[in-house]
Amino acid sequence: MIFGFLKAPAMSPRLHRLRNSSLFSSLTPLELKIVDGLMHERRYLGDEIVFDEGEEGQALYLVMSGRVLISRSRGSAFEVVAELSPGSFFGDLALLDNSPRNAQARAIDNCELAVFFRADFMALMDTDAVIGYKISLALARHIGQRLREWMSGRPQVEAL
Amino acid sequence: MNGEEGAGPVVWSGIIAVTCLLLVLLEHTLWLAIPFIFGTVLYYLLLAPTQRLIRAGAGQNLAALTVGGIFFAVLTLAVTIVASWTAAPDNAWQNTIGYYLEGGVAFVRNTMTLLEAKFPILAEMHLTSMVNKRFKSFTDNFAQQHLATILVGAAAWLPSLLLAPFLTFFFLRDGARFKKFLARAVPNAFFEKTLFLLHQVDQTARRYFQGLIKLTAIDTLILAFGLWAIGVSSPLVLGLISAVLAWVPFVGSIAGCIMVVVVASTDAPSNPLVAYGAIGVFIAVRLLDDFVFMPLTLGRSLQIHPLTTVLMIFVGGTLAGVAGLMLVLPLLGVVMVVGETLGRLVTNPRLRARHRNALALRTRQASIDLVA
């Protein structure tokens, strides 16, 4: 009982779902549990706005269930950028700085999102550099992938 | 929040009004407020090692228990060692206090005599005899008038002070859970901004209390060095007590200065220069503290305008006495962050519209299969 913490924690279905995301795929079960402890759970109804274009970004969102539509305004019209399914994440640039969101996120149907707040990520970088570098590397790879897609002219999910 | 306009006069009036209201409430709940402050200071001291244990795989409970247990074991050990070093008969403390009080009174009398010799007008006013009479009446009536009140007060305060370690344990164990619990109650439209608000409140309190601990350590060392240099006994203990007393603006500094001068004048009764030197050291440290260390530690933490700071210290003292003086700044810092953020949330038409839309969606979904 006392030395129970030396054992790797059992993976709950929620931790499995977190691990399915490319952002957290390299984390160990214990690291996943620590990150999960920092994340907030939010439920959105279909058609509810998650965040607006131009709004200051404070957090990254991970789709746990349901679908999310990413769109941006082009004059008076709206351009659909992407439709995200479970395991995808968006708003990732908010983890790096507090620049304005460059697209709007809206729930397509009832969905459950896990929210990773920037301040918690920054504190994690200070207190647990290993988890911090693993997430940062995954984030850098994700942004690099988008850059390659943009350079090859392929459609890509805009950086938010 | 960067790039957004600062709070307007209405929000600021609200911030000051709420701070004053909290100060009035504080005066009536001191028995809870003081252990709460000690609990918060301990929480911020022990948070980093607790988080390290959690990162190492320990649960919240185990981490909080281990760190709290080790801290209080070390504290108990330190107190036991100090007590055994200074072990003395039962009446030794009374004798020591009496000895230093007599030394202090003798220093005041000598200074008065010296002043009367230098300034004849003071001799004509019978300054020394007047001060002697005051001292005599105070010491003669002290036991009847004040001792019982002080003892009853101490007995009433002791149980509430024992609350502090309990509060620290629960802050360490449930702090993160409580933050999540609060965030869960916030509507989606305001969620990100509220998370930022909670973070700012936490940061403000953390910076203030960590700044206070740093300031106490710096004050203790500098004052101890100065007192050691002029030959006053127990410089480290005096430095530490004065630094802790300085947590209370104005009054605490004066009390610390009187204590240092009393000890210095008793240590060297035939040499008043030591006591004057102690006053000089104390003033120099206070100046360094006010103009160098405090802006570097506490000043940076709260980011409040200096004029507001000074005015609010007076307001705090008027409304809630010594506790008000001590607590008005951290209280104002937290209320300021909450007030400014709430002001931005309430005055943001887009966020309010999104919230109304979310409510409408919820109502529609809840009543989708209901027949009118």
Residue B335: its pLDDT value, please? 87
User: B189 and chain A: CB distance < 8 Å anywhere?
Assistant: yes
Please check whether residue A7 lies inside any domain of the structure: no
User: A149 and chain B: CB distance < 8 Å anywhere?
Assistant: no
Which one of B188, B354, B364 would you mutate to disrupt binding with A, by most A Cβ within 10 Å of its Cβ?
B188
Q: How many helices (H) and strands (E) does chain A have?
A: 4, 8
Please check whether residue A52 lies inside any domain of the structure: yes
Check B176 against A127: CB less than 8 A apart: no
Band (B242; pLDDT cuts 50, 70, 90) = confident
- Provide the CATH number for the domain around residue A68: 2.60.120.10
Please check whether residue A156 lies inside any domain of the structure: no
Check B48 against A127: CB less than 8 A apart: yes
Residue B238 has pLDDT above 80, yes or no: yes
User: B348 and chain A: CB distance < 8 Å anywhere?
Assistant: no
Show contacts of B183-186: CB within 8 Å, 24+ apart: B183/A40, B184/A40, B184/A41
User: A129 and chain B: CB distance < 8 Å anywhere?
Assistant: no
- For B214-225, b/e burial (b = at least 16 CB within 10 A) is ebbebbbebbbe
Q: Specify the number of domains making up chain A.
A: 1
Q: Number of residue pairs across A and B with CB atoms under 8 Å? A: 65
> What's the gap in Å between the CA of A82 and the closest CA on chain B?
22
Q: Are B203 and B330 in contact (CB under 8 A)?
A: no
User: B52 and chain A: CB distance < 8 Å anywhere?
Assistant: yes
State what percent of residues in chain B have pLDDT above 90.
3
Please check whether residue A20 lies inside any domain of the structure: yes
The residue of chain A nearest to residue B51, with distances taken between CA atoms, is: A127
User: A80 and chain B: CB distance < 8 Å anywhere?
Assistant: no
Measured between its terminal Cα atoms, the distance across chain B in Å is: 45
| ipTM for the complex shown | 0.81
Average pLDDT, rounded, for chain B: 79
Please check whether residue A123 lies inside any domain of the structure: yes
Place of tokens 């300054």: B127
Is the whole-model pTM more than 0.90? no
User: B251 and chain A: CB distance < 8 Å anywhere?
Assistant: no
Q: Give B115 or A23, the one with higher predicted confidence.
A: A23
3-state secondary structure of A23: coil
Mean pLDDT, residues B27-45: 80
Residue B249: its pLDDT value, please? 65
Band (A7; pLDDT cuts 50, 70, 90) = low
Task: Please give the angle made by the CA atoms of A11, B185 and A125, to the nearest 5 degrees.
Answer: 50
Mean pLDDT, residues B93-113: 73
Task: Please give the angle made by the CA atoms of B181, B22 and B318, to the nearest 5 degrees.
Answer: 160
The residue of chain B nearest to residue A3, with distances taken between CA atoms, is: B58
φ and ψ of A107, to 5 deg: -70, 130
State what percent of residues in chain B have pLDDT above 70.
85
Q: What's the domain range around A103?
A: 14-151
Check A119 against B199: CB less than 8 A apart: yes
Which one of B51, B186, B192 would you mutate to disrupt binding with A, by most A Cβ within 10 Å of its Cβ?
B192
Identity at B270, one-letter amino acid code: S
User: B47 and chain A: CB distance < 8 Å anywhere?
Assistant: no
What CA–CA distance (Å, rounded) separates B168 from B173?
A: 9
Check A30 against B1: CB less than 8 A apart: no
> What's the gap in Å between the CA of B80 and the closest CA on chain A?
29
Mean pLDDT, residues B144-152: 70
Residue A126: its pLDDT value, please? 82
Check B195 against A37: CB less than 8 A apart: no
Reported as a single tens digit per residue, the pLDDT across B42-93 is 888 888 888 888 877 777 888 888 998 898 899 889 888 877 776 555 566 6
Check A5 against B62: CB less than 8 A apart: yes
User: A47 and chain B: CB distance < 8 Å anywhere?
Assistant: yes
Q: Give A158 or B333, the one with higher predicted confidence.
A: B333
Band (B3; pLDDT cuts 50, 70, 90) = very low
Please tell me what DSSP assigns to residue A5.
G
Residue B87: its pLDDT value, please? 57
> What's the gap in Å between the CA of B323 and the closest CA on chain A?
32
Reported as a single tens digit per residue, the pLDDT across B282-340 is 888 877 876 677 666 665 566 677 777 778 878 888 888 777 777 788 788 888 888 88
Residue A97: its pLDDT value, please? 80
What CA–CA distance (Å, rounded) separates B138 from A61?
A: 68
Residue B328: its pLDDT value, please? 82
Please check whether residue A28 lies inside any domain of the structure: yes
Which residues does B73 contact at the CB level (< 8 Å), separation at least 6? none
Please check whether residue A140 lies inside any domain of the structure: yes
Q: Are A40 and A78 in contact (CB under 8 A)?
A: no
Check B55 against A48: CB less than 8 A apart: no
Residue B5: its pLDDT value, please? 54
User: B55 and chain A: CB distance < 8 Å anywhere?
Assistant: yes
Band (A106; pLDDT cuts 50, 70, 90) = very high
Residue B197: its pLDDT value, please? 80
The residue of chain A nearest to residue B58, with distances taken between CA atoms, is: A5
Residue A69: its pLDDT value, please? 93
Reported as a single tens digit per residue, the pLDDT across A108-136 is 999 999 999 998 888 888 888 889 999 99
Reported as a single tens digit per residue, the pLDDT across A38-77 is 899 999 999 999 999 988 888 999 999 999 999 988 877 7
Check A119 against B354: CB less than 8 A apart: no
Band (A1; pLDDT cuts 50, 70, 90) = very low
> What's the gap in Å between the CA of A5 and the closest CA on chain B?
5
Q: Give A85 or B130, the one with higher predicted confidence.
A: A85
What CA–CA distance (Å, rounded) separates B330 from B333?
A: 5
Please check whether residue A8 lies inside any domain of the structure: no
Q: Are B321 and B27 in contact (CB under 8 A)?
A: yes
> What's the gap in Å between the CA of B57 and the closest CA on chain A?
5
Set of chain A residues whose Cβ sits within 8 Å of the Cβ of B189: 49
Residue B248 has pLDDT above 80, yes or no: no
The residue of chain A nearest to residue B195, with distances taken between CA atoms, is: A117
Q: Are B179 and B265 in contact (CB under 8 A)?
A: no
What count of Cα atoms within 13 Å lies in the side-chain half-sphere of residue A135?
25
Closest CA to B266 of B108, B130, B139: B108
Please tell me what DSSP assigns to residue A101.
P
Check A49 against B354: CB less than 8 A apart: yes
The residue of chain A nearest to residue B52, with distances taken between CA atoms, is: A127
